Amino acid sequence: MDTTASPGLRAACDHVLCATCGVEYGHRSLPALCLICDDEREYVPRAGQSWTTVGELATDGCRTVVEQLEPGLVAIGTRPVVGIGQSSKLVVTDHGNVLFDVPPFVDGAAIAAIAERGGIAAVVASHPHMYGVQSLYSRAFGDAPVYVASADRDFLPLRPSTVRFWEDTFDVVPGVRLEQIGGHFPGMTVAHYTAADGCGVLLAGDGIYPGPEGLTVSFLRSYPNRIPLSGAVVRRIAEQIGRLEFDRLYNNFRDMVPERAQEVVQESARRYIAWVTGENDHLT
């Protein structure tokens, strides 16, 4: 790995993360099990807990891939996939850039791609599965603040001084608003902003998850273990999201709702609620 590209990379080679979920532990003493994976929303593999480092991933051929999704929105991922395999989103604005749902790997290519777009003003994860190596991205860009939902603080393995716990809705940079919608995690966070074409965009992590071709969305407590949410929780999420104006929705992978996203969320929520409350039991 090229560690000369940024001060944030000089100590990255030995930076430890969980090999299953990709969440950082840094140089601290490691627990017997990753606290992210040892939870009903995730899993510890049959082979047992394993750890890796950023340097080991680089040696194994991991690299950053960058893709422009639309003006002002850039996807940052890894090849091959690391951990959960999220596609992180860099929101590029005139008031500072926000790295949302952080990659589980960093290299010189990632730092260069972000730097040429203006750096990072804030780092945010939608929920604990997406913490990635957030402290390294923060360090690489002048110790940018790392915003963590207070409701999820017990799932944060590494707590550098740059962490800022938050609760109430606020603009993390002017024009990019964070809201906690709960559901998948109590502090499940979405980011809302207005894109260059004047349309609203919602970065939803996997608090709201697009279906095939973005024609529907769904809601789960656990995706790998297929644990649903209650109808009451989904109704609450839909009502909160219903106050926002957005035409497009992106999740934390490669999926999106490309148009009419607010309508799709509301229609899908109504369908979900009908099924989990038993309204459609006569059809089964």
pLDDT tens sequence across 127-181: 999 999 999 999 999 999 999 999 999 999 999 999 999 999 999 999 999 999 9
| Burial classification of residue 239, based on how many CB atoms lie within 10 Å of its CB (0-12 exposed, 13-18 middle, 19 or more buried) | exposed
| Residue 161 amino acid letter | S
The pLDDT of residue 4: 41
- Report how far residue 144's alpha carbon sits from residue 4's, in angstroms, rounded to the nearest whole number: 19
Q: pTM for this structure?
A: 0.95
**How confident is the prediction along the chain (284 residues), in pLDDT tens digits per residue?**
554 455 556 668 999 999 999 999 998 789 999 999 999 999 999 999 999 999 999 999 999 999 999 999 999 999 999 999 999 999 999 999 999 999 999 999 999 999 999 999 999 999 999 999 999 999 999 999 999 999 999 999 999 999 999 999 999 999 999 999 999 999 999 999 999 999 999 999 999 999 999 999 999 999 999 999 999 999 999 999 999 999 999 999 999 999 999 999 999 999 999 999 999 999 99
Q: How far apart are CA 30 and CA 85, in angstroms?
A: 22
Give me the domains of the chain, ranges plus CATH numbers. 7-279 (3.60.15.10)
Pairwise CA distance, residues 13 & 8, whole Å: 11
Q: Is 14 exposed, middle or buried (0-12, 13-18, 19+ CB in 10 A)?
A: exposed
Q: Which residues pair with 123 in a beta bridge?
A: 99, 146
Beta carbons of 189 and 179 less than 8 angstroms apart: yes
CA distances (Å), origin 230, targets 15, 23, 237, 255, 277: 38, 28, 11, 24, 8
Q: Are 145 and 162 in contact (CB under 8 A)?
A: yes
Tokens coding 245: 């104006």
- What is the predicted pLDDT for the residue at 93? 98
Which one, of 66, 74, 110, lies nearest residue 195 by Cα? 74
